[in-house]
Amino acid sequence: MGKCHSFYVIKGAEYRMNAKIPVGVLGATGAVGQKFIKLLENHPWFEVTEVAASERTSGKIYSEAVSWKQVTPIPEGVRNLEVRPCTPGLNCRIVFSGLDAAVAGPIEDEFARAGYVVLSNSKNHRLDEDVPLVIPEVNPDHLGVISIQRRNRDSAGYIVTNSNCTTMFLAMALGPIHKAFVVEKVFMVSMQAVSGAGYPGVPSLDILGNVIPYIGGEEEKVEVETRKILGTFNGKTIDLADFPVSAHCNRVPVEDGHTESVSVKLARKTSTAEIAEVLRTYSGVPQRLKLPSAPQTPFVVMEALDRPQPRFDVNRANGMATLVGRIRPCSIFDYKFTLMGHNTIRGAAGASILNAELLKAQGYLE
Amino acid sequence: MGKCHSFYVIKGAEYRMNAKIPVGVLGATGAVGQKFIKLLENHPWFEVTEVAASERTSGKIYSEAVSWKQVTPIPEGVRNLEVRPCTPGLNCRIVFSGLDAAVAGPIEDEFARAGYVVLSNSKNHRLDEDVPLVIPEVNPDHLGVISIQRRNRDSAGYIVTNSNCTTMFLAMALGPIHKAFVVEKVFMVSMQAVSGAGYPGVPSLDILGNVIPYIGGEEEKVEVETRKILGTFNGKTIDLADFPVSAHCNRVPVEDGHTESVSVKLARKTSTAEIAEVLRTYSGVPQRLKLPSAPQTPFVVMEALDRPQPRFDVNRANGMATLVGRIRPCSIFDYKFTLMGHNTIRGAAGASILNAELLKAQGYLE
Amino acid sequence: MGKCHSFYVIKGAEYRMNAKIPVGVLGATGAVGQKFIKLLENHPWFEVTEVAASERTSGKIYSEAVSWKQVTPIPEGVRNLEVRPCTPGLNCRIVFSGLDAAVAGPIEDEFARAGYVVLSNSKNHRLDEDVPLVIPEVNPDHLGVISIQRRNRDSAGYIVTNSNCTTMFLAMALGPIHKAFVVEKVFMVSMQAVSGAGYPGVPSLDILGNVIPYIGGEEEKVEVETRKILGTFNGKTIDLADFPVSAHCNRVPVEDGHTESVSVKLARKTSTAEIAEVLRTYSGVPQRLKLPSAPQTPFVVMEALDRPQPRFDVNRANGMATLVGRIRPCSIFDYKFTLMGHNTIRGAAGASILNAELLKAQGYLE
Amino acid sequence: MGKCHSFYVIKGAEYRMNAKIPVGVLGATGAVGQKFIKLLENHPWFEVTEVAASERTSGKIYSEAVSWKQVTPIPEGVRNLEVRPCTPGLNCRIVFSGLDAAVAGPIEDEFARAGYVVLSNSKNHRLDEDVPLVIPEVNPDHLGVISIQRRNRDSAGYIVTNSNCTTMFLAMALGPIHKAFVVEKVFMVSMQAVSGAGYPGVPSLDILGNVIPYIGGEEEKVEVETRKILGTFNGKTIDLADFPVSAHCNRVPVEDGHTESVSVKLARKTSTAEIAEVLRTYSGVPQRLKLPSAPQTPFVVMEALDRPQPRFDVNRANGMATLVGRIRPCSIFDYKFTLMGHNTIRGAAGASILNAELLKAQGYLE
């Protein structure tokens, strides 16, 4: 950091500079909340000091309140935390929100107004004019809108959102491509893992040996969020990128990993080799800042004809990579390719954490 | 039929008019061959009298030569047939070819030259100039090219092909849409069942909880076969339809039923309701002729937001229906929708059988 | 029937003899309730005239109240029925109960007291002293306890139960084996389909690529229900069969069909061939009476080393068969074998319907 | 080690003491061979210097010869090795054999005769009188038979085998139980992952949504191997343990992890708590010697009613743990429980490597 403050003052408590930043998790017993807790275990900068959830569980010890569904055990530091209600009063600086969209909106507002930095994985505020929807590798400059948000809401707190899980891998890949070749049109058909639907989520009777060609609200999210992420911060708000996106979203019987078949029309002439090169060599702000959760290279470009595949590739770079394969000409647009990534890590909890790391590294937590 | 011949003469043998037409199955022990045998059980017009397969099994009794993978038992009339080699000399008028593409080409040629009517499910001759690639509901008039084929090959025999399984549902749906609204561009992303790869086909280690974003040669087939089926018979050959098709093909862990996400650009203005109506009310030649394997209506247009789904809908109309759902506007082209159908019935063996029925009903077997 | 009544009088209404018997379905919107409705479509003796469900849906039209999960559409005669509350007052003679065990007990009691014949698939009354737990092929004589039940409850109505789905195939197979060779000990390990857990039932995240080695209460049910079914009606109550059963129950990612690995110790010396013969040739009361839902032969004994398998064999005899394979010596007990059957047909709704058919055929509905 | 040799002499070459021991992998392109290579990456004692496979691939570079199916890339040190034929002449001290049983027997013999230490995962020599079948936690003393084997074969080389994957978890758990309470009878029903069948192994059409109640030869292996492992080395050969084992083996649609339902009869009276305690606190020779691949504790005893489960627990202790759950009374024998473990790590390649570590630690490589 190199800053000279010797301690934080958060909610009246003092923290030494070399201590980790205390963070809370909202919706801590849910699927995304659990993933936050798992990914924050041993985080070099953040430490989970508060877990909050619905009234039904608040007051209980976390290990008793949760139906833990991760393959590693509940982190020791969290296991015995008391579950708190989702209201300000949590002893932390940052809250990660894995709240259900049915309730996330006003709760996140309340925390931001109370001075907390809210990293939200929920859809509710993603399209708010003064809320950044950020992928650190693609549009870190959109954080500029925070100062406007703080002014609008008259608070030191604020909300930063990350995209929907399906949008994530599309917007990630389009980032460098748009910069290099100018995207004009985008088709995307997703084949999404069941973990994207939370828990209990998709009943097994609905998905075993099946494809469900519908995920409520998903296509609309992909079509607009992609354009906001690739849009331009004009000093006041974000202008949406000026190209249409058409999305078809499907659920498939895969545990983790969203696969996307994409076709793009580009303004500048290029080649499959050049696109592959642009992605393979891309390095963004998180890579330059060496953020703890950042993958060393944001993209893994695979040469094998039949990759990427969720079962074999989803955990590349600890689930933070965007995998790209089958870059080839398209008989209607210019190029087509396959994207894949871990929907609950890079596409959800890991994205919020990377955003928080970016905020810290760029001085937004001071 | 209404014709007055009182018997057939086939390969020197006479058959009474009211007897069934004897048919053979080439590649009878394979996945498609088995499906032919299953679907021809109790067929009102055809009777399997010959089963032919590779040298390895010829000479054996069918029930001992085959690793039967259908849910119903081997039909009684076929169980004890001797497996014959795949060379002319079979005692039948029609041969259904479920041969592997590695060998199908010359064998089918040989049978056609020897005077047999060859109904092929293999890719080898689909694009031959004088070979029709037919969906009875869409382009029955392409059978006109048979007379040219017979002349070219100087034989009473000939080859008629049906499309690749993925092409089938796309070309089926585009048929009435093209006629009504003129298709200009087509995007299609498939999520294909494992049964499409034959047996043993896809190893379980490759597909359990996975998506494989590549099926060798499939995209090329879809892109050109669709245009041949929707093309025009100009009296001599088939002119390809004049619109581009872009296909992405994926394998998913589904047993039976290919699902397709499709976007289409149309020349004429229309509405989702009108497209639904055109498909729902469509009736083609097989329906008017009441061909035995024809679905009563070629399309089932589903209203539920999340249908069609392979597990629940694949067996509609005994696997001969094309299911359509989610007809809605597309933000780039005009409309998008989901297609689904049974890849080994309507998309393979059932398609060949329906073609044979069309040939008989239109006098091509005389 | 051969009886001379020219009409029924049910709940004050008259029915002509040749009319179908009106039946109601309790819990009609649930998984088992739906299966009842599907299986009763076109039933030669019974007609669904009433559908009843929880307060939440009562008053609605059935097609709007239900999330229909069968592969065939809602039967026409049921589609527009009004959903009634689960209280007596239904216009029918028989009620099939697919109620959740949490509520089934008192509701079924109330219907029986009100004069209805209650065919229950729920666990609640299976072990009641005066309630028969019946498999028509195995212990039809247990219906004798009905007269005691009627006396106890002072009602013309009564309750007849069928077993838990896992118990069903075990008790079916043990029936003829016990009669022929006297069972002394039974080990059973089940691998159960997800459809046994109802809907939404098992979350896909829990079962994709997984085995869950626990199903609450299932092992206890198998261990005692099997002994009641194979027990003896002593004129007053049922004496449990005098052999221990040890059950391990597991859930596997299979849609339909419970598979069971079984070892049995027998009192009489026999051979694998003799056991196969006893099962293959077995014919029970439902076969002799030609009950409409009875399989022609109760058992399908498969010779192939790797059968039965749920995917390929579960629908034998319309899901009413018990499939048996791999009969072989056991190195601890005498013999071991594999059982399999359709858990929601023969193991649930179909079992209740077969019981109702037995009741009608043996004069218990008069 | 504590020995004072300052270098090895292997096949005429000298190795410094602190260098890693060079090892070869036979069948290096197959499923087990790949797992060996993956698990040996960064091994502190061993280094893969030779990869050998069938004639078809020998001479090629490993990365081109193999269809690599592991989730991590081919280790750098192996990627460019030339594939050698499976004949002595490999420059290494130890060979790990992942050969197919069809060829393993004579090849392993040949290597042993030529002076190599052969760690075999194949079934061929497991039951040979002078070949130890070893689980380091259970029967490390069986290595004593090596001196007899060497004498019999007049070679410094020898063969050490590990058990079949299903046997592994059963014999592991029975080890401490037998020592503490004396096992008298064992029932075991397995639900085995597809990875146990190698690659391509089980076709997806056979296993999606299915259970296959048969795995050729598996039951026989479990029944005898378990007794050899728990048997007694009498100074000359191994006396089989004196209790019968009855095994039913099933294949289920799980990628990795064999689950086993087990019932045991014990000679000494005990309790579920005591059995849990014996397993939880068990520590064997590999733990005391801190062998690199040894799990810290051999058993993970799970309290949750529905664990262990392959999807969530299979990678405990890097796939080297044996997971135990649901210890409870059995109504026929004394106790029943569920076992689970990683079939290709602890149950195959990892077992061979642990055996090699034991050999080194106990001076058998000198």
Q: Do C211 and D223 touch (CB under 8 A)?
A: no
Q: Are B327 and B100 in contact (CB under 8 A)?
A: no
- Our answer to whether residue D4 is catalytic in this structure is no
Q: Do A205 and C201 touch (CB under 8 A)?
A: yes
Residue from A321, A218, A271, A265 nearest B261 by CA: A218
Annotated catalytic residue within B165, B178, B249, B342: B165
Higher pLDDT, D217 or B73: D217
The proportion of chain B whose per-residue pLDDT surpasses 70, expressed as a percent, equals 95
pLDDT at C365 over 70: yes
Cα distance from A134 to chain B (closest Cα, Å)?
Answer: 24
Task: Determine, for residues C248 and D333 on separate chains, whether the beta-carbon distance falls below 8 Å.
Answer: no
**What would the 3-class secondary structure string for chain A be?**
CCCCCCEEEECCEEEECCCCEEEEEECCCCHHHHHHHHHHCCCCCEEEEEEEECCCCCCCEHHHHCCCCCCCCCCHHHHCCEEEECCCCCCCCEEEECCCHHHHHHHHHHHHHCCCEEEECCCCCCCCCCCCECCCCCCHHHHHHHHHHHHHHCCCCEEEECCCHHHHHHHHHHHHHHHHHCEEEEEEEEEECHHHHCCCCCEHHHHCCCCECCCCCHHHHHHHHHHHHCCEECCCCEECCCCCEEEEEEECCCCCCEEEEEEEEECCCCCHHHHHHHHHCCCCHHHHCCCCCCCCCCEEECCCCCCCCHHHHCCHHHHCCEEEEEEEECCCCCEEEEEEECCCHHHHHHHHHHHHHHHHHCCCCC
Residues of B in Cβ contact (< 8 Å) with C311: 255
pLDDT at residue C17, as a whole number: 53
pLDDT digits (tens, 9 = 90+) for A108-128: 999 999 999 999 999 999 999
Average pLDDT of the residues of chain B: 94
Q: What is the mean pLDDT of residues B142-164?
A: 96
Q: How far apart are CA C292 and CA B347, in angstroms?
A: 36
Query: C-alpha dihedral over D228, D234, D236, D241, to 10 degrees?
Result: -20
Contacts of A204 in chain C (CB under 8 A): 194, 201-204, 206-208, 253
Q: Is D248 on the interface with C (CB under 8 A)?
A: yes
What pLDDT is recorded for position C366?
81
Candidates D199, D204, D255; nearest CB to B194: D204
- Active-site option among B125, B142, B178, B258: B258
User: To the nearest whole angstrom, how far is the Cα of A329 from the nearest Cα of chain D?
Assistant: 27
How do strand B183-192 and strand B158-161 relate by DSSP bridges? unpaired
A342 to chain B: which residues are within 8 Å by CB?
none
| Contact yes or no for B311 and C255 at CB 8 A | yes
What does the pLDDT read at residue D7? Answer: 47
DSSP track, C207-249: HTT--B---TTHHHHHHHHHHHHTSEE-SSSEEPPSS-EEEEE
Q: Is the entire prediction scored with pTM above 0.90? A: yes
Return residues 168-187 of D near C (CB < 8 Å): 185-187
Q: What is the pLDDT of residue C187?
A: 98
- For residue D203, the distance in angstroms to the closest alpha carbon of chain A comes to 15
Burial B166-191 (b: 16+ CB within 10 A, else e): bbbbbbbbbbbbbebbebbbbbbbbb
Residue D272 near residue D329 (C-beta atoms within 8 A): yes
Looking at the predicted structure, is the pLDDT value of residue A13 above 90?
Answer: no
Closest C-alpha among C119, C172, C171 to residue C146: C119
Mean pLDDT of all residues belonging to chain A: 94
Judge whether C305 is closer than 8 Å to chain D, CB to CB: yes
C positions 52-81 inside 8 Å of A (CB): 69
What are the angstrom distances between the C-alpha of B133 and each of B168, B339, C85? 11, 21, 57
Chain B with chain C: Cβ pairs closer than 8 A: 13
For residue B2, name the pLDDT band (cuts at 50, 70, 90). Answer: very low
Contact A105, A124 (CB under 8 A): yes
Q: Domain D165-342, CATH 3.30.830.10 — does that match?
A: no
Q: Which fold has domain C165-343?
A: Dihydrodipicolinate Reductase; domain 2 (3.30.360)
Summary mean pLDDT of chain C? 94
Provide the CATH topology of domain A7-163+349-361. Answer: Rossmann fold (3.40.50)
Instruction: Give pLDDT tens digits for B269-303.
Output: 999 999 999 999 999 999 999 999 999 999 999 99
**Which residues in chain C are closer than 8 Å to A208, comparing Cβ atoms?**
194, 204, 207-208, 253-255
Once rounded to an integer, what is the mean pLDDT over residues C59-76?
A: 93
Q: What is the pLDDT of residue A333?
A: 97
Do the chains contact at D311 and A255, CB–CB below 8 Å? yes
Could you give the 3-state DSSP secondary structure of residue D351?
A: helix
C281 touches chain D (CB under 8 A): no
Average pLDDT over residues D300-323: 96
* pLDDT at residue B1 tops 50: no
Mean pLDDT of C1-25: 59
Instruction: Indicate if the pLDDT at residue C12 is higher than 50.
Output: no
* Catalytic site residue from A86, A92, A165, A249: A165
Query: What's the token pair of residue C341?
Result: 């059957």
List the single best residue of A256, A305, A312 to mutate versus D (max D Cβ within 10 A).
Answer: A312
pLDDT at position A9 over 60:
no
- Residue C8, amino acid: Y
pLDDT in the model for residue C2: 33
What are the residue ranges spanned by the domains of chain C? 7-164+349-361, 165-343
B333 touches chain A (CB under 8 A): yes
Pairing of strands D117-120, D94-97: parallel
Q: Provide the CATH number for the domain formed by D7-164+349-361 in this structure.
A: 3.40.50.720
* B37-72 residue pLDDT tens: 999 999 999 999 999 999 889 899 999 999 998 888
Report the range of poorest mean pLDDT among B311-325, C166-180, D1-15. D1-15
Query: What is the average pLDDT across A88-107?
Result: 96
Q: Which residues contact D275 (CB under 8 A, 6 or more apart)?
A: D177, D181, D327, D335, D337
Q: Which residues of C touch A205 (CB under 8 A)?
A: 69, 194-195, 199-202, 255
Q: Is the per-residue pLDDT at C104 higher than 60?
A: yes
pLDDT cut 70: percent of chain C above it: 95
> Nearest-CA residue of chain C relative to D336?
C248
pLDDT (average), residues D32-52: 97
What is the Cβ-side half-sphere exposure of residue B323, based on CA atoms within 13 angstroms?
A: 28
* pLDDT of res. B16: 52
* Active site annotation includes D330: no
CB D76 within 8 A of CB D62: no
Q: Tell whether B255 lies on the interface with A, counting CB pairs under 8 A.
A: yes
- ipTM, two decimals: 0.94
Both tokens of residue A23? 């963070």
d(CA D205, nearest CA chain B) in Å: 7
Q: Model confidence over D131-190: pLDDT tens digits?
A: 999 999 999 999 999 999 999 989 999 999 999 999 999 999 999 999 999 999 999 999
DSSP secondary-structure letter at D81? P
Chain B interface includes A239 (CB < 8 A)? no
Residue D109 predicted with pLDDT over 60: yes
Tens digit of each residue's pLDDT (9 = 90 or more) over A171-223: 999 999 999 999 999 999 999 999 999 999 999 999 999 999 999 999 999 99
Residues of B in contact with A330 (CB under 8 A): 246
Q: Does B242 touch chain A (CB under 8 A)?
A: no
- CB contact under 8 Å between A254 and B253, yes or no, is yes
User: CB under 8 Å to B55, separation ≥6 — which residues?
Assistant: B85
**Chain D residue whose CA is closest to B253:** D208
